[in-house]
Amino acid sequence: MKIVAGNSNRPLAEGICSYLNTPITQAVVKRFNDMEIFVEIQENVRGQDMFVVQSTSFPANDHLMELLIIIDALKRASAKRVTAVIPYFGYARQDRKTGSRTPISAKLVANLITRAGADRVLTMDLHANQIQGFFDIPTDNLFAGPVMVRDIKNHLDVHNTVVVSPDVGGVVRARALAKRLDTPLAIVDKRRERAGESEVMNIIGDVKGKSCILIDDIVDSGGTLVNAAEALLSKGAKDVTAYITHGVLSGGAVSRITNSKLKELVITDSIQPTEAVKVARNIRTIPIAPLIGEAIGRTNREESVSSLFE
């Protein structure tokens, strides 16, 4: 077994290698002057079980091309099997047609990864579980839930806590976390009565006097979280903490969250944190290298990955 890393999240790849006590494979992933990507694997990988660690985070297209070219390089170097380890699958939000003449980009990216030569895919907290069906190769979708549960129990009093879904679409994810923590569930129901009017947020469930945990898969602009936190506090919530798997945090998101009423935003390092995220007063990162490392080890040994979450 060998592990190759692209440039999207080198610290995470090094953490995975440390967990597995395996050195990272020497490889060059660089740019020509016109920004064309060049890859050279500098070790013999013939007959090896290869794992390519690469999130398709900002800049998404560059990191996606790196992933595809690394896979191609490994296949042409006679690797026995290539698994694309994509902690954050960046095109997952484009999983359906949202209007006339729009693409299903998540399916296109799945096709590209497959045609590049990947034999398996290992990812985490897909925006929509059905994206696994976009791939015609085995795909394991890991869950950050167990990592979050441990962190919540270490930092919060779960006896006076309610898990909250920031929208109706995330109820399944929130219910699963509430079940693990044995806490009640609440839902933020967003609706805009008329065009041009601000959203009205109704809270379904009792949050008065309780610490609220907002749970979601992706935080991008941060607007939904900030508005949900204000709505919960207006209904008498004691405080609001958010646990999100993928911290995209684009544009002014970090500033928006820092200046919000959120007690804390906790994200995983599926996307490499920026310097602004590292120094933010109310944003904290938890590591997922042990989770992904364990899944990689089990995949190599042909053991069950799903048993990680039982």
Across the chain, mean pLDDT equals 93
What does the pLDDT look like over 175-200, one tens digit per residue?
Answer: 999 999 999 999 998 775 555 444 65
- pLDDT (tens digit, 9 = 90+) per residue, 241-282? 999 999 999 989 999 999 999 999 999 999 999 999 999 999
Determine if residue 90 is labeled as part of a ligand binding site.
Answer: no
So where are the chain's domains? 2-143+290-309, 145-287
| pLDDT tops 90 at residue 308 | no
Tell whether 222 is in a known binding site: yes
Catalytic residue set: 190
167 annotated ligand binder:
yes
Q: Is 220 labelled a binding residue?
A: yes
**214/307: higher pLDDT:** 214
224 annotated among ligand-binding-site residues = yes
Q: Which H/E stretch holds residue 74? A: helix 60-76
Judge whether 299 is annotated as a binding position. Answer: no
Q: Does residue 171 have a pLDDT over 70?
A: yes
Is 34 annotated as a binding-site member?
yes
Residue 36 is labelled as binding a ligand: yes
Q: What is the pLDDT of residue 194?
A: 56
Q: Is residue 248 a contact partner of residue 58, using CB atoms and an 8 Å limit?
A: yes
pLDDT digits (tens, 9 = 90+) for 114-140: 999 999 999 999 998 889 999 999 999
Q: Does domain 2-143+290-309 have CATH number 3.40.50.300?
A: no
Give just the sign of the alpha carbon dihedral 251, 144, 134, 225.
negative
Sheet arrangement for strand 81-86: 2-5, 49-53, 81-86, 120-124, 139-142
Top pLDDT among 128 and 309 is at: 128
Question: Is 63 labelled a binding residue?
Answer: no
**What is the reported pLDDT for 202?**
87
Q: What are phi and psi of 163, to 5 degrees?
A: -85, 135
Phi, psi of 131 (to 5 degrees): -65, -25
Of residues 85 and 189, which shows the higher confidence score?
85
Q: Which of 206, 157, 205, 210 is nearest to 181 (CA)?
A: 157
Is residue 127 a contact partner of residue 218, using CB atoms and an 8 Å limit? yes
Asked if domains 2-143+290-309 and 145-287 share a fold, the reply is: yes
- Give, in order, the Cα–Cα distances in Å from 303 to each of 13, 70, 72, 121, 297: 21, 26, 26, 15, 8
Q: Which residues pair with 158 in a beta bridge?
A: none
Check the annotation: does 93 bind a ligand. Answer: yes
161-165 and 239-247 as β-strands: parallel, antiparallel, unpaired?
A: unpaired
Report the first-to-last Cα separation within the chain, whole angstroms: 26
Q: Supply 10's token pair.
A: 């080198």
CATH 2.120.10.30 fits 145-287, yes or no: no
The pTM (predicted TM-score) of the whole model is 0.92
State the burial class of residue 185 (Cβ atoms within 10 Å of its Cβ: 0-12, 13-18, 19+): middle
Portion of the chain with pLDDT greater than 70, in percent: 97
